[in-house]
Amino acid sequence: MLALALCAQRALAFVDPPYITPANPTAGETISVNVYRGECDVLNIGIVPPVIEQHESAITALFTGIHAEDPEWCLYSIGTETVPVGSYPAGSYTLDVERRYGNALGSWTQETLGIIPFTVSGMPSQQTFEAPTLRHVGLGALLLGLITIAMLTLRTRRV
């Protein structure tokens, strides 16, 4: 097993399931599809825009990409590809992410990368933020400062 482990090569051709960003979109916000992929695959080659169709709440995004079978042609870097697919009004949707690429026979190979259900809310999500607060030391210093000011004020009134 150790000898086989030493001879193992890393995977060059892989495509992980797609996901959308933002995870909880609001109405009017642009939604993007993200796909983590290997060196032998490209989701969108750029010169051919993705075909995005919507039928009621079902959205299909078809990307024209590249898939190399021969490791000599695996020239692309490993990474996440992010492609905007649009903005939608409030409601529940399913996004079918498909890709197609040319094969050695000169025809197209098309595959489904994933189906993503998501909900677009009508109101912007409540964003929370951390406000600075006084800790015990800060509260003690504030109290000491107030007492000092009160004492000085009382002394000046007596004189």
pLDDT for 131 = 63
Q: What is the pTM of this model?
A: 0.67
119 and 31 Cβ atoms separated by less than 8 Å? no
pLDDT for 115 = 96
The helix/strand/coil state of 106 is: coil
Rounded to 5 degrees, what angle do the CA atoms 16, 22, 26 make?
Answer: 140
Which positions of the chain have pLDDT values less than 50? 8
pLDDT for 76 = 82
Q: What are phi and psi of 53, to 5 degrees?
A: -120, 145
46 and 84 Cβ atoms separated by less than 8 Å? no
41 and 65 Cβ atoms separated by less than 8 Å? yes
Does the N-terminal peptide bond of residue 22 adopt cis geometry, omega within 30 degrees of 0? Answer: yes
Residue 84's nearest CA partner among 140, 44, 133 is 44
